[in-house]
Structures are given as C-alpha cells and as structure tokens.
Structure 1
Amino acid sequence: MLVYENTKAGLLDDVLNDRLVAEIKKGHADQGLAVGSDSEVRSWENSFQYVYKVLASSDIPDDAGIAVEFKIPLTSRRVDLIISGYDEAGNANAIIVELKQWEGESTQAVAHKDGIIETYLGNDIRETTHPCYQAWSYTQFLEDFNQYIQETPVDLHPIAYLHNYEPEAREELEHEAYQQYTDEVPLFLRGEVAQLSAFLESKIQVGDGGEILQNIDASPLTPSKSLQDAILEMLEGNNEFTLIDSQKVVYEKALELAAQSQQDDQKRVLIVEGGPGTGKTVVAINILVELLQQDLTAQYVSKNSAPRDVYEQKLRGDMLVKDINHLFTGAGSYVDEEPNTLDALIADEAHRLNEKSNFFGHGENQIMEIINAAQFSVFFIDETQRVHIKDIGSIDEIEKHAAELGAEVTKRSLTSQLRCAGSEDYIDWLEDVLDIRELAVPMEEDVKYDVRVFDSPQELHDAIEARNEDGRLSRVVAGYCWDWEKESKPDAESMDITIGDYERSWNLEANDPWAIAEGSVDQVGCIHTSQGLEFDYVGVIIGDDLRYEDGELVTDHEARASADRSVHGMKKMTKERPDDARELADEIIKNTYRTLMTRGMKGCYIYCCDDDLQEYMRSRVAEITSGDATVELPQ
C-alpha cells in the first residue's frame, strides 16, 4: 500500500520545504491507516534529512520513483523507503531501504539468536531484528507473493542505512552471526553518503516516474513457485504432519470451502472445535501448505508466538537462506487490510484472540479483522483454553462477526485424541478434578496414561530430566506465580522460581523456541511458551493461585506474579463487578492448569505448592491409576 508516492525531485522538494511529514500523515489518513507514535514521526523528520543528502548528491534521475512507508500486504510492517527505476540494460530495479537512527555505542550483537541484535530503543536497551535481516525479510516476502515482481521480473535490492551509526562499531553489525544477511544486504553507516550514492547510481540510470512502484502496489498476491516447492518438500515425508481420522475430514472440508469461495466470491468461515491433542495445529499447517500449492495466498495466524515459532522451525529444517516466517504471523497483522486481500487465513488457537490488536493502539476486534481480510478463514478453537483476561475467542463471537460480514459458516469437530496417550478419559477426569466439568459417569478402570504426584518439585524435575535424557521430549512448566526478573536477558544464573531448596529459571530466551531448545529442560516454562504445543512428558508445578480449602478448589488471582498480564485488570474488575471477576478468575486459572496438564502425550507429572491441594490431587490420581511416583533414572 503506497502511503507516500513521488519522484526523486518531488521528494527533495517536499523535504526542502518541510512538507514531507505532513504529506506522509495525509497519506496515512487517505489510506485509513494509523499514523503511529510521536517518536516515529520524529524519525521521519530526522532520517529524511540524511536521505535528502544522499539523493541530492547522487546522479540517479529526477524521475526515479520514490515510496515512503510502503505497507507490505498481509503484515503489520512498512518499508521505510523504496527507490525504483531501470539500469542501462533496461532491467527494472527497486531498492528496499531500511533506515535506522541507531548509534554504535549502545549496539551489541546477540550471537545465539537468528537475526536478533541489541540496541537502544524506547528509552532502554532492547533486543530487536537486525536491520539487514529486516530489509532482507521484506524483499523475501515481496518476491514470494507479489505476482508483478515474479513475472516482470523486477530485481529487488535490499540495503540498510544507519545514518547515525559510527563506523568504528561496525563489527557489532557485521558479527559472523549475521553473515547470511549482511552478505546479501549492503550496510551503509554514518559518513558513507558517497558509497551509498554510488550504489544507487549502479542500479538506477533511467527513471520510471514511479511506474514500477505503482505496479508492485497494484499487483495480485500469488505464492511463487519456489515458495510452493520449498514448503511442500518440507512437509512431505514428515510423519509428524500426517493426518488421520477426523483430521483428514476437516482438511478436505477446508479445501472444498476454499475452492467454493474462489469460484463464487462468497466469503466463508470454517469453525473447527477440538480439545487438547486432537491435532488442530497439524491440520492447520496441512491446510496452509495445500492452499499454497493451489496458487492461493494463505497465512497461518496465532496470537501466541510459541506455536508459530516451533512449527516454523520444524518446517524450515536445515534451511539457512530461504525463510518462511512470513507465512506465520500474529493475529494483529490485519488491522488495516482491505476486505478479501487474502484468499485464506488459518487461525490457530482462536480462543486466544483479542479485541484490540495493539498495533499503534489501533484495531477493533481480531476475529472481525481476520474474517474481513480473507475470502475464506478457518478458526481452530478450544473454548476451555481461555487463559487471559483479554481472550475473547469463542464460537459465538466468530459466528457474530461472520454474520456481520456476510460470511457463510460451517462447523466441524476434531475428535481423535493423539495426546494424553489417546485417553479421552484422562481429559474428562482432569476437567472433573479442576471443577471445570463434572464427570457424567465415574471411572471404572485405570486411565491408560502416566499421571503421578511427586513429593517435591525437585523429584518431579529429576523425573522429567530422566525422561528427556531417555530420548522423550519432556519439559517442566508452572503456573505464572513467580516474577520473571531478568528483563528478557538470558541469565541462567538468575533463579526466578524458589520452592524450599528447589531453584530454577523461568524459560530463558534462546536461538530455538523454548519448547524445543536443547537446554530448556533445565528451566521451567510458562503457559505462553507451551500453549498449542506438546511434549512426550510434562511436569506441572501448580502454584498458590490454585488451592484446596474446606473441601473445595479455590482460585486466587492475587497469587499470580505481578508481571503476569493474563490477569491484569482483575483488581479493578473485583472492585466494580466482584461476582464477574471471581467467575473470570476461576475460568482463567483453571483453564491455565488444564492446558498445562494436557501438554504431555505420554504422561503428566504433578507437584502442588499448597499442601491440601497436594493431598487432594494425590487422592484423585489414586482413583485412576495404580502407579506411584517412582521413576527409574538412567544409569
């Protein structure tokens, strides 16, 4: 989407006469886009003074095309600057420019994370994406989805220009961890106006009057053949993505509805209900891959980043250069999309969707935005996994917005239980234990699932580590009842969770997603790093937000950590609507533990901080299993 479009001469004139910022703001308003923060507006004023110097000193033609704040379709991202034109041989070129105001003194490489660097942002030192990675990823997306770029073809040239960055600190930006990006994306720093001008002149000798940019903006979105081939190759032969029983039925129905929407232009919505372990994400990934094979533009959407990160990693395999992360996006990416921009959106973990997308404080309702943006949308949902005060995802809410947008609704269910040793009895038992839903019929025999209560968190962790060492992916998770003090810094020496002599760190950030990172078995994960994922065995530490008092389960949102945003606003609600607050706290806390205690495919190990809850849980486990809490440790 073109927010500001001009030629080189027109841009120089707007900067010289202090009109550029006003024109960019007008472009946002004309396109119905939010303008952004005050700091972003100041960055335009600052950065384009340097852009002015580069363009004014270069010999690229005055009628070369210019786009500022070009919004990339299907994402919440915008390219700072694009310059277009032709070289002497008549080849169409577009230069993708990422502008930064960083300074070298506050910038430091983060070697253990792919494309992540640390610098001063928002009044603090923070981790962010490397500018070369940003420019490269924008280019990758346009090449993968823009039909005009694929067919013309247009050569895209990503670059990064850090006009305040001291060259003597270049080694942080060019650390070997970023080589795959810096090899492809030239980096220009403070004092390198001449070098940057020379680069522009090497690509653009003939102006296009902005025609290339207009064609890019107007182009249909179609997945490229190379993207189709790459992602299909990753899926084929991967048994983890094989569909069975009701999964195959839902998959075929989704393809049928997507095809119908292409034929008759009728907007359609498919709602898929499925409990823990029914394979919602596996079906979602298969639908995504097949729709791409059919030349349809599709994306996988989830509010929680953990499943996106893990499944992207599993699909990528050993790829280093070709990236697919633009196929996996957050739920707040469609605030400003025009109706039916995409052929299909597949929303996983739809129970976690919010009202506000928090994109520049903009957005109305993520469910509405997804249905609006796509001709066909799929929502995978389990209403008993609402674990945040802002979670609004429900079947009623989806149906309401579908009706408002004129979409036909189809419902299907996933029933095959793949997690919890295939035991639906365990799910039923657990919901009764947590007082979510009463058992219709008492259990008459042992549940075929390894569920145990341990006397201490250390014994539980030892058992999980033993399972993990035995080749079974196993992790310890806990309710969010301990503060996370490290401020996003990977400090393995900082112990967040202390229970007697037991001390562990919350999930540390690493290059791999926490759920599958090699060292994460030593740590404790939270709901946000495990929801939507599965392990062979899961160990669950139940904190003081769930207790057993006078023969009843009692929830206590005040026992949650102050850093936990999932109950933020509960105190205010308690004062204004105490009954509603109590009911909502019960739902969120019980759903949290139901979600954590259904992450294991083969077993769930439990420790409760509350002594009475520990005894209650032990008595309930005895109802369904004759096992004890003894685990053979590997020799």
Structure 2
Amino acid sequence: MQGSARNLLREFEEGRLVPALAAHVGIRYRPDEEHGEIGSWRRSVPVLLGLLCDCGLGDLQVILEYQLPYSPKRVDALLCGVHPETGLPSYVLVELKQWSNAEVVRHGLVRYNGRKGQPVLHPAEQVRRYCMHLLGFVPSLARTPSCVKGLAYLHNAHRGDDWQLDDFDRDDYSGLYTADQLGDLATDLAASLQVADDAADRLVRARRAPARSLLITAAGSVAARTDFVLLDEQQVAFEAVRGAVADASGNGGGRKKVVLVRGGPGTGKSAIALNLYAAMARSRVKVVHATGSKAMTETLRLSVFGENHWQGEDVFKYFNNFARARQNELDVLICDEAHRLRGQANVPDYWRGRLRGQIHQLIDAAKVPVFLLDDHQVVRPSEIGSPNDVLEIARAMDCQIVEVDLDGQFRCGGSPLFDLWVQRLLGLVEEAPVSWSDLVADTDDEYVVESVEAPHALESWLRARIRDTDAGARIAAGFCWEWTPPVRKDGKLSLADDVRIGGWHRPWNAWPDVEVPDVPATSFWASDPRGFGQIGCVYTAQGFEYDWAGVIMGEDLVIRDGRWVAQHDRTEDPALKRTTGERFDRLVRNAYKVLFTRGMQGVCVYSADPETNDFLRKHTA
C-alpha cells in the first residue's frame, strides 16, 4: 500500500485504508475486529501518518506493510524520500508498537504489557535486522548503506523510573522512540527525509538480489564450515552447475538451464549444496540457498553463523519466499531437499496474471535453478518434488535440463547395501526383503542393524551405544500417537508423555515456538544433545543425521501375511489424515525410509505391532 502520508491518512479517515491493507496481506476484513493486525492498523497507522503531516512531511511517500525481499516478513511502514543535505535517496523503516511497558528478559529479548510465555525480539533489534536484510537484497542500497535508517516507535509508552529498553546496541538502523519523545522523533525524521515524488517507485522497481557485501560475508562463513571433499558424481554435479552459470552469463538471454541432482539419503546432496553456495558467493554470483524444511533451515543458520544466526536469514531461505520474485533476479538458486516442494505456493502470485506452483516460481526466479532431491523422501500429500515433477514443469517452460545422478553412500556408515536393504524391506523396489546378515555376507560392511523385542530395550541399546562410542543417538517414530501441548507441573512447563507402548512412555519433541526448560526447540531436536530425551518424527528427522538411530514403527504400516498393509486409521499425522489408498501407502513407506536412514553408524528398529516386529526381527538377524 503506497501513497503520500496525507492521502493515506484521508483513506484511513474515510474507512478505506484498513480494508485495503487486509486485502493486500491476504486476511479477512471484519469491520468490528479490534485484535490482531486489523486492530493494530487502526490504532497505530493513523498515529504515524498524523505525525508526518504535523511535522511538514504530509507529502512524503509511505509504503505500508512493505514485504522484505525473499522473506515473509513485512515492515509496518517504509518512509521514502531524499536526504535534505545530499539529495540522495533516503529510506526509514518504522516498526510501530502499541506497548505501554516492557521488561528485558535477557539481552535482545523482551516481554511487553505484562505478558507471559515466549519473549520477543527487542523492537530496536527487530528493525535493525529488517534494515540489514533490505540492504542485503537491494544492491543499489547496499552501495550506500547510510541511505537506510530504522526506528521503532512505541507510541503508547512513556519513559519512567521502570523503563528498561534503553540498553541495546545503538546505530542508525535501531532508533527507539516513545510517546514522550515526539519532538525528537519529528526532528530526526525531518533531518533524514525530504519529499521526492519518485522515491517509493524507485525502491519498488529496484533490482533485488543478494548484495555483494552479503555474498562475501556469507561465502566466508559457509566455506569455513564446509570441509566435505566432493567426490566423483558429487563433483560432476558441482561442475554441471558451474558450467550452467558460465553459459547463462554469456548466452545473452538464451534458454534457461535447470540442473536436477538426484540421490538417495547420504549421497552428499546437502554437502554439494553448501559447497556450491560457498563457491558461487565467493565469485560474487547472485546466489541463495533454499529448503522447505524449517528444522534444516534454522539449523543451517545456527551452525554457519553461530550466535549471529539471524544473519543466516539472508542466506538460507524457504521455498515459499519466492512467490513474488521477478524473473531471473538471481543467478543461481540452490533448492536443497527439493522433494519438500509444494504443489501450490503458500502465497498466491497474482501479479503476473496467473497462479503458479513452487516449482514454477523457483525456476522463474533464477537463471540457473538447481534442484537436489530424493524421490523416496516425499512424505506429505502436498509435496510434489519428484524428479518427474521438476522435469515436466521445466520442459513445459522450455528450459534446457542437466541431470546428474549421485552414487555412493556417505551416511549409514558409507554402506550402499543398507539403503538397498531398507528399500527391499519396505517394498520400495521389486526385490523381496532379505535379512541383513545374508545381504552383507562375505562383505566388509560394518554398518550395525539390530532389532529388539520392546521399546525399553531399544532405548537401552541406544544408551549403551552412546556410552561405548561416545556418540549421539536419537529415537524417532511413526506419527501414530497424538502430539499434545506441554503441561505445567510444579509451576513449570514440561512435555507430555504422548508416545505410550505398554508401560513405556516418552514425549514427542517440543512444540514449535514453545520454550520448555532443558528441551531443545523443535528445529534443533536432531542437532542438540538434549534431543535424546524426546521422540522425533519424520518432520524433525528429515535432512539430518546422527550416529545411532532408533526407529519405532507405529501401526500405520504393518505386516499381514507377509505383506505390508498401510492402516490409514492409525495415523495421527494431520497431513496424512486427508490421504488414503495408494498415495497414503507410498507416503508412509517413504516416511519410514527417512527414519531408517538417519544413522551414521547403525540403526535399531522396533514395531509396536507384534506381527510386524517379528518380521523386523527376522530381517535384521
């Protein structure tokens, strides 16, 4: 929503602005709504617009609910003008808060208006990161970073004896003003902004791509943590992308090249993706890494950038961040875990006059889109990331296609036989199941495959491996038990013991965005050592590896008379409850294949169904 402060204020007073904002962001407008975003707009937007009019900036161009490039995040207001002294473009990002008071929980985190539960980012830090993100993806701004400023305006708060929010790292991107500082705010805005009719349009039209400074920083961060040497087909895939990039830069707008890299679990797809990212960024190629997995994306941000993991938001993105990307904005888009692609984008793309799925969007966004995927890891009905899906759409878009099939096995002890054993066991290939000992007879395969008679025995087996090898382990299960919210015991939150088999019971991993003492966040269940105390599912395990894997099969997939039978009524997976028949059967088998193939040194399996557990015992012997 864009216009002068004066015109937008008039639109508000005449009752048209809030419904238009609701339509803009895609939420239902209710005239009597006083909560959520609609209530916030009613209380905050006229305060800012009125302030601009009162301090002589009524003709200043304002963009409300500005969506940051390649991000679902929106800035409350972006003020657009030129600097009064230099005449150069000048932009001020404004976060509007209705807080009347706030307390500091720890550095950078606060709670406001006496609310309990999850703390939020300090508003000055929030807007500072928005500024850095904007600079990271609009190269014309990155060349002169002083043209961007940021501030948080807490228009209901007054500084008093109990005011706590002034202890933060101040810079031009992190101003903080309260209701008793109107004069200071008006003075500072007038010192930074002068009306220019085309300032907002220039920003909207500006090319969006990773800025050079961001690429240099990210390349160093990723390369410092990417010590995986690419071998054979892995290096072939790497060179295929590099060749496609060279062709794209020199073909003067010829046919787009789509690179499709296929490989099973542990074939090094993610290692290729990170090596590619580091090499492309180091060469100043406009590149972004994307996945469809929150757990994987957040873990990459943390592992690469450490305590500055927020910087990773500019490097590691999600597939649904590209719904409104312009054609060929990027040189390279690396789509890791591309089997997580959705058939329909979360954010509809109407501005080109048609609604596109995620594969279309990602191909459109880059000169060289790269898809790394495993056909046997599609685990949700909405996921369409099979090789055939990508190929079909790429051909329909008249793209050249480069295909690379990965060989070898770098997870599961480097054992190519184990992946074959799992596929045969679960009926994913035509060959009949075979016992592990028969398959590896007369080989030097050292991968460990075991089964047990009870869940407590599985846990004991893993604890012994942890003790004896000083390594990590996790237990993951089929989604066959309800996942309930944390419960409060003795004044503190704890996880409910949802996974119950006889007298043995354990909790699922934590709920998203709910802090539970001594329990890792959902996204870090697989990487945080404290995750051993909870049961993970396919959504927290997929894309990760740990030394020793424990797998509990539920009754959604059982053996009856020597054949697998998928039991739709036994799943508690919300995504699969809407799926039946052959589609359900295939998805649940894929999910167990993911769980079976997470361990680097070995796996121990158990089924809650007695007949199925007998089958597992026979084939792990």
Q: TM bucket by the smaller chain?
A: 0.7 to 0.9
SS at match of 2:379: coil
CA contact 2:265–2:411 (8 Å) conserved in 1: yes
Q: Name the residue aligned to 1:219.
A: 206
> How many pairs are equivalent?
589
Which segments of 5 or more consecutive residues in structure 1 lack a partner in the other structure? 29-33, 571-580, 623-635
CA contact 1:421–1:448 (8 Å) conserved in 2: yes
Match of 2:381 among 385, 389, 396: 389
CA contact 2:216–2:284 (8 Å) conserved in 1: no
**Matches of residues 172-571 of structure 1 in structure 2 within 5 Å?**
174=165, 179=168, 185-189=174-178, 193-204=182-193, 207-238=194-225, 240-264=227-251, 265=253, 266-319=255-308, 323-359=311-347, 364-439=356-431, 443=439, 445=441, 447-468=445-466, 470-486=469-485, 491-508=493-510, 510=520, 513-561=524-572, 564-570=573-579
Query: Could you tell me how far apart the structure 2 residues matched to 1:319 and 1:128 are?
Result: 17
Query: Could you tell me how far apart the structure 1 residues matched to 2:184 and 2:559 are?
Result: 69
Q: Name the residue aligned to 1:577.
A: none
Structure 1 residue 77 corresponds to structure 2 residue 73: yes
For each residue in 1:169-207, what CA deviation from the matched residue of structure 2 results, as whole angstroms up to 9, or x when unmatched?
987x9498xx56999633445665445434424533xx1
Identical columns (%): 27
CA contact 1:257–1:376 (8 Å) conserved in 2: yes
Match of 2:50 among 28, 53, 62: 53
Query: Could you tell me how far apart the structure 2 residues matched to 1:475 and 1:110 are?
Result: 32
SS at match of 2:289: strand
Query: Could you tell me how far apart the structure 2 residues matched to 1:466 and 1:103 are?
Result: 54
Which segments of 5 or more consecutive residues in structure 2 lack a partner in the other structure? 30-35, 513-519
Query: Could you tell me how far apart the structure 1 residues matched to 2:238 and 2:342 are?
Result: 26
SS at match of 1:515: coil
Match of 1:96 among 93, 98, 101: 93
Q: Name the residue aligned to 1:625.
A: none
Query: Could you tell me how far apart the structure 2 residues matched to 1:151 and 1:361 are?
Result: 30
Query: Could you tell me how far apart the structure 2 residues matched to 1:109 and 1:430 are?
Result: 51
Alpha-carbon offset, residue 8 of structure 1? 3.8
CA contact 1:274–1:381 (8 Å) conserved in 2: yes
SS at match of 2:196: coil
- What is the identity, as a one-letter code, of the residue corresponding to 1:213? A
Greater mean deviation of Cα atoms: 272-281 or 357-366: 357-366
For each residue in 1:344-367, what CA deviation from the matched residue of structure 2 results, as whole angstroms up to 9, or x when unmatched?
211122222112222379854111
CA contact 1:53–1:193 (8 Å) conserved in 2: no
CA contact 1:372–1:405 (8 Å) conserved in 2: no
Query: Could you tell me how far apart the structure 2 residues matched to 1:163 and 1:444 are?
Result: 70
CA contact 1:115–1:130 (8 Å) conserved in 2: yes
CA contact 1:76–1:334 (8 Å) conserved in 2: no
SS at match of 2:260: strand
Query: Could you tell me how far apart the structure 2 residues matched to 1:450 and 1:305 are?
Result: 30
The 3 A distance-change label for structure 1 pair 316 and 525 is same
CA contact 1:310–1:515 (8 Å) conserved in 2: no
Query: Could you tell me how far apart the structure 2 residues matched to 1:149 and 1:165 are?
Result: 32
The 3 A distance-change label for structure 1 pair 117 and 369 is farther
SS at match of 2:311: coil
Structure 1 residue 146 corresponds to structure 2 residue 148: no
Greater mean deviation of Cα atoms: 296-305 or 127-136: 127-136
For each residue in 1:232-290, what CA deviation from the matched residue of structure 2 results, as whole angstroms up to 9, or x when unmatched?
22233435443222111101111111221222223221111100001111111222222
CA contact 2:332–2:367 (8 Å) conserved in 1: yes
Alpha-carbon offset, residue 520 of structure 1? 1.1
Query: Could you tell me how far apart the structure 1 residues matched to 2:261 and 2:170 are?
Result: 39
Alpha-carbon offset, residue 387 of structure 1? 0.9
Query: Could you tell me how far apart the structure 2 residues matched to 1:10 and 1:333 are?
Result: 31
Query: Could you tell me how far apart the structure 1 residues matched to 2:172 and 2:457 are?
Result: 49
The 3 A distance-change label for structure 1 pair 615 and 190 is farther
Alpha-carbon offset, residue 466 of structure 1? 4.4
SS at match of 2:308: coil
Q: Name the residue aligned to 1:632.
A: none
Alpha-carbon offset, residue 214 of structure 1? 3.3
- What is the identity, as a one-letter code, of the residue corresponding to 1:548? I
CA contact 1:474–1:521 (8 Å) conserved in 2: yes
For each residue in 1:130-173, what CA deviation from the matched residue of structure 2 results, as whole angstroms up to 9, or x when unmatched?
644542332112212212112244432222234456878987x9
Alpha-carbon offset, residue 498 of structure 1? 1.8
Query: Could you tell me how far apart the structure 1 residues matched to 2:114 and 2:526 are?
Result: 29
For each residue in 1:397-435, what CA deviation from the matched residue of structure 2 results, as whole angstroms up to 9, or x when unmatched?
212221232221111111121011111111111111111
Q: Name the residue aligned to 2:581.
A: 582
The 3 A distance-change label for structure 1 pair 339 and 229 is closer
SS at match of 1:379: strand
CA contact 1:457–1:607 (8 Å) conserved in 2: yes
Query: Could you tell me how far apart the structure 1 residues matched to 2:366 and 2:345 are?
Result: 17
SS at match of 1:378: strand
For each residue in 1:542-596, what CA deviation from the matched residue of structure 2 results, as whole angstroms up to 9, or x when unmatched?
11212222222222122112xx2220312xxxxxxxxxx3211211111111101
Query: Could you tell me how far apart the structure 2 residues matched to 1:299 and 1:488 are?
Result: 40
Alpha-carbon offset, residue 472 of structure 1? 2.0
The 3 A distance-change label for structure 1 pair 129 and 515 is farther
- What is the identity, as a one-letter code, of the residue corresponding to 1:214? D
- What is the identity, as a one-letter code, of the residue corresponding to 1:405? M
Alpha-carbon offset, residue 464 of structure 1? 2.7
The 3 A distance-change label for structure 1 pair 44 and 387 is same
Greater mean deviation of Cα atoms: 440-449 or 322-331: 440-449
The 3 A distance-change label for structure 1 pair 237 and 154 is closer
Alpha-carbon offset, residue 125 of structure 1? 7.9
- What is the identity, as a one-letter code, of the residue corresponding to 2:74? R
Query: Could you tell me how far apart the structure 2 residues matched to 1:249 and 1:117 are?
Result: 51
SS at match of 2:90: strand
What is the TM-score when the length of structure 1 is the normalising length? 0.83
Alpha-carbon offset, residue 318 of structure 1? 4.8
SS at match of 2:50: helix
- What is the identity, as a one-letter code, of the residue corresponding to 1:556? Q
Query: Could you tell me how far apart the structure 1 residues matched to 2:120 and 2:487 are?
Result: 12
CA contact 2:131–2:173 (8 Å) conserved in 1: no
